[in-house]
Amino acid sequence: MKNLSTGNYSLSIQDSSFCETKYVLTVPSNKTDFTLYIPNTFTPNSDKLNDVWYIKGTCLDKMNCLIYNRWGEKIKELKDINEGWDGTYKGKPVPDGVYVYLIEVETQSGTIKKAGHITVFR
């Protein structure tokens, strides 16, 4: 999702058992007091370049990020802006592909919710 206008957006995720989870994402009207950078790809191939997926930002208080595989299974939870994902699940490398994230960050202006995807290339 790019260039969204201010307001609320609904996100619905359905897993392989047809269980559905719904989220409401809010795009704030005042975006000048914080920054949030969420990369959409990384290459965890042990070459010491772009091996860990990190969210970057300024003026962020709390953060929670959930990462799901294509079957809707939660494979990683990040609770700190300094924590990253190394492209593993249960100690084993995940396959190349697209993974979904849901991020909630607290700023002085309120809560920001973002959803998107990460592509893993090895």
Is 42 buried (19+), middle (13-18) or exposed (0-12) by CB count in 10 A?
buried
Domain range for 82 is 30-120
Place of tokens 């202006």: 109
In whole angstroms, what is the distance from residue 28 CA to residue 7 CA? 7
Q: What is the pLDDT of residues 6-34, one digit of tens each?
A: 778 887 888 788 878 787 777 666 555 57
Domain annotation covers residue 55: yes
Distances 66 to 47, 59, 75, 114 between C-alpha atoms, Å = 26, 21, 8, 11
* pTM for the full predicted model: 0.71
Domain-embedded: residue 11? no
Using alpha carbons, select from 103, 9, 1 the residue that is nearest to residue 54.
Answer: 103
Number of domain units in the chain = 1
Indicate whether 91 belongs to any domain: yes
Is 85 within the bounds of a domain?
Answer: yes
Q: Is residue 12 part of a domain?
A: no
Residue 101's CATH number: 2.60.40
9, part of any domain = no
- pLDDT by residue (tens digit) across 109-118? 789 899 999 9
